[in-house]
Amino acid sequence: MSFNSFGHLLRFSSFGESHGQVIGGMLDGVPPNIDLSESDIQPFLDKRRPAQSRFTTQRKEPDKVKLLSGIYQGKTTGTPIAFIIGNQDSRSQDYTEIAKQYRPGHADYTYEAKYGIRDPRGGGRSSARETAIRVAAGAVARKVLTTQYPMIQIVGGLMMMGEKKLSEPYDFKATYQNPLFMPCADEKTCSLWQDYLDRIRKDGDSVGAMVEIRALHVPPGWGAPIYGKLDADLASAMMSINAVKSVEIGDGVRVANLSGAKNADEMRMRGGHPVFLSNHAGGILGGISSGADIIVRFAVKPTSSILTPRRTIDNSGNEIDIVTKGRHDPCVGIRAVPVGEAMMALVLADHYLRHRGQCGEL
């Protein structure tokens, strides 16, 4: 029920604002006796960390995670694991003006409509800075999954950006080898996309993107009818990421054009095991994992903070024009890749524990 919590048996809660002293969170329900230290978490934060290339905000944050509880002698104890990340590069600028204006595409107007108050410093609670904490929690969720199922892998990449689109198959091993987090090992393609984004960046504009996240080797049987469906929870998880405007499972929007004959994922036995001959369903049938790769895709809108002047109003009802200065990602879709992976890990780990609770160990 909590507004700032997510998940059920494995439950993640987060707190903090963009320019507060820290952002933080706690993960409750983690199984005991799992090896865990900050070094299990930091590599994932390092991927999402800003200012690593010219394509992300130049805000300098080391994003060092600090574990506060739930660990004893390097192992989880089954009690809540809390962690914080310091905010170091929050500029002490004057927010008097920005506090009055509603930036188009941002949550300024809606927060004020809801609460009658908002923290304007760097977007406050609505800033994508919060997603760093999700990445930290997702790293723990991965440990929960892989401790029991070492084969499970969670991969992702940015496969579309503005007018650019990668064609399949994607090479997810290459994702973190290039600054746009493209699942593509071809340097020329990567270079072309970077040139494209450079032009947008220099124009003071921004661009949208599409991200795909996959979970490989997930056992069949996770998820549950009717309102605890694995795809419904994934949809909620991905849609909760800042700037996301769509979530697709498997063929997603394309199923609207398909015939039943083409959409059916036929089955055969291979090596004594059931296999699907295609994966239009994206690994989920009736809300339950099928054993095929789980495929989720989401669209990220272009960063709302741009240098092009836009028409808006202020909180006194004056019509004004606004230019959003400050440090921003020209394409927030890039850093949404590790965040999407983290959300996939959190949803799967929760459903693993819920499944084990109701149905027992496989």
Q: What whole-number distance in Å separates Cα of residue 142 and Cα of residue 236? A: 19
Q: Residues 75 to 94: which contact its own copies by CB under 8 A?
A: 75-82, 84
* CB contact at 8 A, 80 and 67: no
Query: If binding is defined by CB under 8 A, does position 305 make contact with its own copies?
Result: yes
Per CB under 8 A, the list member of 302, 335, 344, 349 interacting with its own copies is 302
Per CB under 8 A, the list member of 140, 154, 155, 161 interacting with its own copies is 161
* Residue 299 in tokens: 């669209």
Q: What whole-number distance in Å separates Cα of residue 284 and Cα of residue 185? A: 29
Query: If binding is defined by CB under 8 A, does position 54 make contact with its own copies?
Result: no
Query: If binding is defined by CB under 8 A, does position 282 make contact with its own copies?
Result: yes
Q: What whole-number distance in Å separates Cα of residue 340 and Cα of residue 213? A: 7
Query: If binding is defined by CB under 8 A, does position 74 make contact with its own copies?
Result: no
Closest C-alpha to 341, from 45, 112, 135: 135
- Closest contact distance (angstroms) between CB of 73 and its own copies is 8
Burial class from Cβ neighbours inside 10 Å (0-12, 13-18, 19+) for residue 297 reads buried
- Closest contact distance (angstroms) between CB of 247 and its own copies is 5
Q: Residues 96 to 135: which contact its own copies by CB under 8 A?
A: 102, 104-107, 109-111, 113-119, 121, 124-126, 130
Query: If binding is defined by CB under 8 A, does position 342 make contact with its own copies?
Result: no
Query: If binding is defined by CB under 8 A, does position 236 make contact with its own copies?
Result: yes
Query: If binding is defined by CB under 8 A, does position 289 make contact with its own copies?
Result: yes
Query: If binding is defined by CB under 8 A, does position 160 make contact with its own copies?
Result: yes
Nearer CB in complex with its own copies: 39/259: 259
* CB contact at 8 A, 344 and 215: yes
Q: What whole-number distance in Å separates Cα of residue 296 and Cα of residue 140? A: 21
